[in-house]
Structure 1
Amino acid sequence: MRKYIYTIIAASITMGAYAQKSDGSAKSLVKAETEFAETLAKKGTKSAYSDFAASDGLVFRPNPVNAKDYYRAQPEAKDVSWTPVYARVSRSGDWGFTTGPFKVGEDAYGQYFSVWKAVDGRWKLALDLGVSHNKPLNKADVQIIEPKDSFKPIFLNDKERATGANIIATTEKTLDATIKSYGISAFAGFISPDVRILFPGYEPILGKDKAIAFFNSMISKATLKTTKVDKAEGGDLAYTYGIAALDYKADLRESFNYVFVYERQADHNWNLIAMVFAPAER
């Protein structure tokens, strides 16, 4: 009997160790995201974020704070649910992101956005934020996009990583300067045809045409202040986050925490494939 109990305990430990397992695929990332949601529903926010968040993982509540520290100090909650409907992973398998609808209680809705990193063979939550909107009218199409190939440099050093990150930082500085010179329409030159925008009060804005129409109809000016840049070792994806000050055409300015995801194009330029604007507290 005692041996049986030990076997059950050992099996539980083994299962926990293999939860969130990363194999470099978007499918494994979606599995980790789903396990995260299931853990929260069963055990609550403290256990879920304690297990799934990276040691330096951030949640935007509303401004970025350490995920583990934040939820350790919060009351337990189990009334949050979400479903990943879009996922991408770098060809190097070191990080990826998912997004999809969330629900809090019975009548609060929105879209979440999570960046995950592979740490010791497990997916760990690096960034977590979201935007609220009314009950969705449109059903989301599920898109789990696998990397086109696999590549991870063997001898990449910190200097080379810093050089790669600086390319993205320079791209974002160029975007900021171009907006200052030519107005909000400058986003058009930096947006991918399949871009996804999450903005408070709106269901996901999908595609370049809708994105440009959205920006041109609402916003006159924008200023970006980058806080951090991270470029995948495979050289195909990168993300940034920081503070965006948006001037509406209705003579109102509002600050947002933003997360942008860039993808390297065939011409070696970097275009935005995901843009998230979550309210900031100043």
Structure 2
Amino acid sequence: MLKTALIACALLAAAPALASTPSPALSSPGEIEKAERAFAADGAALGIRDSFLAHMADDAIVFSPGPVNAKALYAARPSSKTPKLEWWPQRVVIARSGDLGLSVGPWAINGKRGAYYATIWRKEPDGTWKWVYDGGGDADGGKGPDPAAPSTQGPTATTGAGSPAAGFAQARAAEDQLAKAAAQDAAGAYDAVLSADALLTGPGGTKTQAVDDLEGRRKLRPAALTLTPVGGGASRAGDLVWIHGQAQWTADGPKPVAAHYMHVWQRRAEGWRLIFETLINDT
């Protein structure tokens, strides 16, 4: 099974604009890598169910196939140390305010590499990191780094929107524009918003594509697709936002393909950019 769980279902509570945005120097992507590797170590020691429960937030969600509460889903499963699931971070990104982050990397089951996971981490009031989304999508894990290799660290935003509510509203506007354009021309819509260093996983059938092969993945995507945002959350500084929702497109079969997606948007000098997408077919 893939590392599975999805980001909190509702927007973080609106907060008043910050008088000053925390310095990027106070936000270390190393915190995200440390949290992810601790999670993975517990996965080996405790098994999937118990490690996932130990590291998830109370409001974390997973796709099954649509978003459901992760704690309820995993609590109903039996404890087991088989199969052996391993994963390790390849790219980590942290919000300017140091309270929200993204981790992406390969996973393996019983020593055999599979696809890619993605985790959204949120710092809780007590200072601990908990995941609020954890899922996986098709990409060639064999082309990823070795488990012991340090992750690469994505850039931290130089400015934020000032609050979670403002950041989410701005990213949602970018999401809505992407959805409107993708309904007519998906390739052109994504080209307009993807960052040059974006990572993409899915949809189904793209297991041979590298996670950073933007051109190759562009050719394998549907010509047009419908994106319907459902929920997500934002960092305290309003510079890093995740949005999840439903996707649908026409394929060769009699029924349209149904899927769920998770996007991560970052506020960059050139505007809001999509830095990560996982597109998971509902099968």
1:276 matched to which residue of 2?
A: 278
Rate the CA distance shift 1:49–1:138 in 2: closer, same or farther, 3 A.
Answer: closer
Is residue 132 of structure 2 the alignment partner of residue 126 of structure 1? yes
State the 1:33 CA deviation.
0.9
From 47, 60, 66, the equivalent of 1:57 is: 60
- Summarize the alignment of residues 90-109 of structure 1 with structure 2, pairs less than 5 Å apart: 90-107=95-112, 109=114
Partner of 1:196: 199
1:163-242 equivalence runs, <5 A: 163-199=166-202, 200=204, 201-202=206-207, 203-206=209-212, 210-242=213-245
Farther-moved stretch of structure 1 (45-54 vs 237-246): 45-54
Q: 1:190/1:145 Cα in 2 relative to 1: closer, same or farther (>3 Å)?
A: closer
- Shift of residue 69 of structure 1? 1.3
Q: CA deviation at 1:272?
A: 0.7
Q: Shift of the alpha carbon at 1:219?
A: 1.5
Shift of the alpha carbon at 1:243? 0.9
CA–CA separation in structure 2 for the residues paired with 1:215 and 1:252: 23
| Number of the residue aligned with 2:4 | none
Q: Which amino acid aligns with 1:277?
A: L
Higher relative contact order by CA 8 Å / sep ≥ 6: 1 or 2? 2
Paired residues, number? 249
Query: Which amino acid letter does the alignment assign opposite residue 279 of structure 1?
Result: N
In the TM superposition, residue 132 of structure 1 has moved relative to its aligned partner by 4.5
Matches within 5 A, 1:86-165: 86-107=91-112, 109-120=114-125, 121-132=127-138, 136-137=142-143, 139=145, 142-145=151-154, 147=156, 161-165=164-168
SS in 2 for 1:97: strand
SS in 2 for 1:187: helix
Distance 1:39 1:218 in 2: 36
Over 3 Å counting, the alpha-carbon distance change for 1:134 and 1:193 in structure 2 is closer
Kept after mapping to 2: 8 A contact 1:185/1:216: no
Query: How far did 1:30 drift?
Result: 0.9
Deviation of 1:236 after TM superposition, in Å, equals 2.2
Change (3 A) 1:183 1:106: closer
Give TM-score, length-normalised by structure 2: 0.78
Amino acid at match of 1:109: G
What is the TM-score normalised by the length of structure 1? 0.78
Amino acid in the other structure paired with 1:100: G
Deviation sequence 1:137-160 (CA, Å, 0-9, x none): 55467313363669896xx5xxxx
Describe the shift of the 1:81–1:213 C-alpha distance in structure 2 as closer, same or farther (beyond 3 A). closer
Give the unaligned 5+ runs of structure 2: 1-25
Partner of 1:263: 266
Secondary structure of residue in 1 paired with 2:225: strand
Counterpart residue type for residue 205 of structure 1: V
Mark the CA change 1:204 to 1:250 in structure 2 (over 3 Å): closer, same or farther: farther
SS at match of 1:65: strand
* Residues 218, 249 of structure 1: 8 Å contact kept: no
Q: Distance between the aligned counterparts of 2:224 and 2:47, measured in 1?
A: 41
- Partners of 1:50 and 1:218 in 2: how far apart? 34
- Structure 1 residue 47 displacement after superposition: 2.4
Q: CA deviation at 1:134?
A: 6.4
Shift in CA distance, 249/263, structure 1 to aligned 2, threshold 3 Å: farther
Task: Report which of the two structures shows the higher radius of gyration computed on alpha carbons.
Answer: 1
Task: Specify the SS of the correspondent of 2:89.
Answer: coil
Q: In 1, are the aligned partners of 2:225 and 2:250 still within 8 Å (CA)?
A: yes
Would you say the 8 A contact 1:220–1:248 is kept in 2?
no
Structure that is richer in helix per residue: 1
**Higher share of residues assigned strand:** 1
